[in-house]
Structure 1
Amino acid sequence: MSNSGQVWVVDDDRSIRWVLERALQKAGILPRCFSSAGQLLDALETSTPDAILTDIRMPGIDGLALLERLKASYPAIPVIIMTAHSDLESAVSAFHGGAFEYLPKPFDLDDAVDLIRRACSQGRRQRQERSEISDLAPAKTPEIIGEAPAMQEVFRAIARLARSHITVLINGESGTGKELVARALHRHSPRANKAFIALNMAAIPRDLLESELFGHERGAFTGAQSRRAGRFEQADGGTLFLDEIGDMPAELQTRLLRVLADGEFFSVGAHTPTRVDVRIIAATHQNLETLVAQGRFREDLFHRLNVIRVHIPPMRERRQDIPLLLRHFLLEASRELGVDAKVLLPDVEEYLCRLDWPGNVRQLENTCRWITVMAAGREVHLDDLPPELLQIRQHETVALAEGGWEAAFKRWVYDSLSRGGHNVAKDAIDVSEGILITTALQFTRGRRQEAAKLLGYGRNTLTRKISELKLDV
């Protein structure tokens, strides 16, 4: 049986060490046992395992104290905490300390071995993952992340508008990052040293919008105890970002049109105009042309705003960016919470890349935050995903049962092409052969000669394909 990793076990109970050692050896995992935390710490000075399994209550250095030292000096090693004293306080302390998992005694030996195998798998990949994360985290985080062709068009538009004061209309579905693009346009403009003021038309009550935009004079209405500058005045010399412009009431559309035409406005209750120099960037998830045709948006205002239009693509049109965004948001969430970044298993990442993400980047970011808080271990499995995403997976399973494997394969090909994949035929053959071989070996309980016969391979052919496909069997 292939080597499934090396785990160090520390427990002052000799019988527990003996039972685990035999079970792990049988499972192809190399164990090394210690009777105290001090012995393990000494051994770490010369070598390191893929994972560590430690009891929580031991003489001398207990499991939680050992966990604290390991996380400080060896953060890449997954640590499983086990104890016969299963209680909420111990579990919470273990997870707060950064434990991979909490294993209460008595435990099922097969479950324990499976958990240790998972921890070893993560440990082996941890150093590579940390290296990749370091590559993803330059001194200054990129303003906008994206490698898909549709996002490259956005970047080119920002670059072309870098030295411009021109009005820009950004359109895109909710959650695609329209304000992020607006801020990037401001940062790269001649107005970068002035204010960037944002206002969401849909978030402000209709009767307060006028005062919010244009300000008011003292005594202009009940409760106006003093003069207040509106968003236009606050943005003087800089940029005013009007989000969800399609929700702007008709009477305010007229006033906005005058500001765009004349550069001045009357605050509520004022008798003289206020002159401002403001660049307008507007955004909407709606089709303004349709609103114009329906009489819900002024056509002349539309043409004033629609000087330059920047379209932000939804996630389903930039699937190749999903892995990059997942890693970025998982790293960002880990920094905010002061924990290690979660690691998505390949099948989890592949599944997330297939989703349409109707909430777009915002939904993806929120999912990464949820995973960082709720996933039990550092290694994320499909069952660790939020319930709403698991429901989608269940629906896919039903669809597969109804449509057959051909429908699933057709979707795989489509998704691969939409992610900009090349050599899709070779990838499909490799994936298919990998599934055939691993499934046959599971069916024959690892007996290669029998698996080769079932697949119609020679024994040498099976061995060669396992090596070529780098299958972990």
Structure 2
Amino acid sequence: MISEADQIVFFVDDDAQLRDANVQTLDLAGLPVRAFADAASLLAMIGPNFDGVVVSDIRMPGMDGLQLFARLRALDVDIPVILITGHADVPMAVSALRDGAFDFLPKPFAADHFVAAVRRALAHRRLILDNRALRAAAASPPDSPLIGDSPAMVRLRESVAQVARAEVDVLIEGETGTGKELVAAMLHRASPRAARAFVAVNCAALPDAHAEIELFGHAADAVPHGRFERSGRIEASSRGTLFLDDIDGMPLAVQPRLLRVLEEREVLPVGADRPVPLDLRVIASAKRDLLALAQQGAFRSDLYFRLNVVRLSIPPLRERRSDIAQLFAAFVAEAVAQTGQGEFRMTDAIRRHLLDHEWPGNVRELRNFAFSAVLNLLDGSGPSTARQTLPDRVAAYEAMLLREALEATRGNVARAVDLLGIPRKTFYDKMARAGLTAGVFRGRR
């Protein structure tokens, strides 16, 4: 996504005095500008990916401004052209405006009026190029789920590829919303264990009273109301991958037993006499600094050092702002496909938000913003809603939430119902209206 500072104004006028004066005006306004004495020289410097604006006098020897305008339209119909006209040329300029010129300025014109017109043209060109990028992204999805060409993301993709096939435990660090579970799933899918289970456990959500049973399971009659033995999440991941998400939130009381699992590769269910041998790979994630937590006594230091075999760090979005445009384009394409909306068009308000916002929620926040933009839920900053009723917009948003719940639970309706907090009958009714079938999501990983 380009900014005004990345763009340029091409200014052409055969009158050296007027040319120098107008170039100085643009310079003083902080706008990059390049001057030309004739239209042919300017035309030779423009290609189809030109990201700037052309300002041209109409009356010039050789190729005049109108001929230049016609040649530019043949090259790229969306290059903004501002024509400078004398009083006698106003009818010609008006005709050019009808043919697609961006604006015309009758001489003499005020410097602030000139600068304002150029800034509007530059903003228009940015929107044109951004929308082209969005369409291109929709036509060619990225090769990797880890989107971005910043040095940090290139290194991360290389590290994931190297580590995936190694039988080592991995610690993934990153703020909330950076994509830690995505990286964990990529490591699993590219590993020799890809055909086996990928069991994700949200450690921060484990209730203290039942955390041990949830993780380690229990023997028959070992706990109240537990007549039959029960396998825990750790045993369920044997021969596959155990993903301990947000391990920095794991209850301290559970950590010694987890340390034994990591060291001995066996699990002792609650109340059992014999441990169960395990063959698993462990991937853990943390949004806080585990070493600092260990030094504060809020996390076991021996568990930290056992987890810290290979460490992958995911940078926050504010530290890789060059990836925002590419990520947004991918999320818009995903939102259009999921919601069935028509073609999305970038607006200046959305551009400003993408460029100026700090994104404390990282990639997850950006994805939510993209979906809201596609669904026209941005308090007037989204695309036009003239042809879409409120019920249509609500239905599209509900369909998106249903899809997300079914994908997150791999088609498990009971878990999806709990996730959304609605009655099962309501869920089935809405699923039928959206044309969704739970079975479609059961084979996905």
Could you tell me how far 1:368 is from its partner in structure 2?
Answer: 1.1
Q: 1:17: which partner in 2?
A: none
1:133 counterpart = 2:127: no
Q: Which amino acid aligns with 1:360?
A: N
TM-score by length of structure 2 reads 0.55
Matching residue within 190, 200, 205 for 1:188: 190
Q: 2:20: which partner in 1?
A: none
Q: Distance in 2 between matches of 1:129 and 1:143?
A: 18
Q: 1:369: which partner in 2?
A: 371
Could you tell me how far 1:168 is from its partner in structure 2?
Answer: 0.7
| Residues 342, 380 of structure 1: 8 Å contact kept | no
Report the RMSD for the aligned CA atoms in angstroms. Answer: 3.7
Q: Which amino acid aligns with 1:192?
A: A
DSSP-derived class of the 2:282 partner: strand
Deviations, residues 49-68 of structure 1 (Å, cap 9, x unaligned)? xxxxxxxxxxxxxxxxxxxx
TM-score by length of structure 1 reads 0.52
Q: Which amino acid aligns with 1:136?
A: S
Say if 1:379 and 1:135 are closer, same or farther in 2 by CA, change over 3 A. Answer: farther
| Residues 127, 347 of structure 2: 8 Å contact kept | no
Q: Distance in 2 between matches of 1:379 and 1:249?
A: 43
Say if 1:279 and 1:376 are closer, same or farther in 2 by CA, change over 3 A. Answer: closer
1:309-458 to 2 correspondence within 5 Å? 309-345=311-347, 348-375=350-377, 380=382
DSSP-derived class of the 2:210 partner: helix
Q: 1:303: which partner in 2?
A: 305
Say if 1:306 and 1:27 are closer, same or farther in 2 by CA, change over 3 A. Answer: same
Deviations, residues 436-466 of structure 1 (Å, cap 9, x unaligned)? xxxxxxxxxxxxxxxxxxxxxxxxxxxxxxx
DSSP-derived class of the 2:164 partner: coil
Q: Provide structure 2 residue ranges, at least 5 long, that are not aligned to the other structure.
A: 1-65, 78-93, 101-123, 386-445
1:57-68 to 2 correspondence within 5 Å? none
Say if 1:171 and 1:126 are closer, same or farther in 2 by CA, change over 3 A. Answer: closer
Matching residue within 221, 224, 236 for 2:223: 221
Could you tell me how far 1:345 is from its partner in structure 2?
Answer: 3.0
Could you tell me how far 1:217 is from its partner in structure 2?
Answer: 2.6
Q: How many residues align?
A: 275
Q: Distance in 2 between matches of 1:124 and 1:246?
A: 45
Q: Distance in 2 between matches of 1:204 and 1:263?
A: 22
Deviations, residues 337-376 of structure 1 (Å, cap 9, x unaligned)? 1112422235632541232100000111111111122259
Say if 1:29 and 1:348 are closer, same or farther in 2 by CA, change over 3 A. Answer: farther
Q: Which amino acid aligns with 2:137?
A: I
Matching residue within 292, 295, 317 for 1:293: 295
DSSP-derived class of the 2:231 partner: coil
Say if 1:128 and 1:157 are closer, same or farther in 2 by CA, change over 3 A. Answer: closer
Q: Which amino acid aligns with 2:284?
A: A
Could you tell me how far 1:143 is from its partner in structure 2?
Answer: 2.1
Q: 2:238: which partner in 1?
A: 236
Q: 2:158: which partner in 1?
A: 156
DSSP-derived class of the 2:230 partner: coil
Q: Distance in 2 between matches of 1:134 and 1:148?
A: 20
DSSP-derived class of the 2:311 partner: strand
| Residues 317, 363 of structure 2: 8 Å contact kept | yes
Matching residue within 195, 204, 207 for 1:205: 207
| Residues 233, 276 of structure 1: 8 Å contact kept | yes
DSSP-derived class of the 1:374 partner: coil
Q: Distance in 1 between matches of 2:135 and 2:361?
A: 30
Could you tell me how far 1:239 is from its partner in structure 2?
Answer: 0.7
Say if 1:309 and 1:129 are closer, same or farther in 2 by CA, change over 3 A. Answer: closer
Deviations, residues 401-427 of structure 1 (Å, cap 9, x unaligned)? xxxxxxxxxxxxxxxxxxxxxxxxxxx
| Residues 146, 153 of structure 2: 8 Å contact kept | no
Could you tell me how far 1:277 is from its partner in structure 2?
Answer: 0.9
Q: Distance in 2 between matches of 1:174 and 1:262?
A: 31
Q: 1:59: which partner in 2?
A: none
User: What's the % identity of the aligned pairs?
Assistant: 40
Deviations, residues 271-320 of structure 1 (Å, cap 9, x unaligned)? 21111111111110111111111112111111110011100000001101
| Residues 235, 267 of structure 2: 8 Å contact kept | no
Q: Which amino acid aligns with 1:198?
A: A
Q: Distance in 2 between matches of 1:124 and 1:226?
A: 64
Q: Distance in 2 between matches of 1:365 and 1:255?
A: 37
Could you tell me how far 1:223 is from its partner in structure 2?
Answer: 2.7
1:266 counterpart = 2:234: no
Q: Distance in 2 between matches of 1:273 and 1:225?
A: 19
Deviations, residues 149-206 of structure 1 (Å, cap 9, x unaligned)? 1111211211221320101111110000000001111111111111111011112212
Q: Distance in 2 between matches of 1:126 and 1:253?
A: 49
1:138-149 to 2 correspondence within 5 Å? 142-149=144-151
1:161-180 to 2 correspondence within 5 Å? 161-180=163-182
Q: 2:405: which partner in 1?
A: none
Q: 1:279: which partner in 2?
A: 281
| Residues 238, 279 of structure 1: 8 Å contact kept | yes
Q: Provide structure 1 residue ranges, at least 5 long, that are not aligned to the other structure.
A: 7-24, 32-119, 384-473
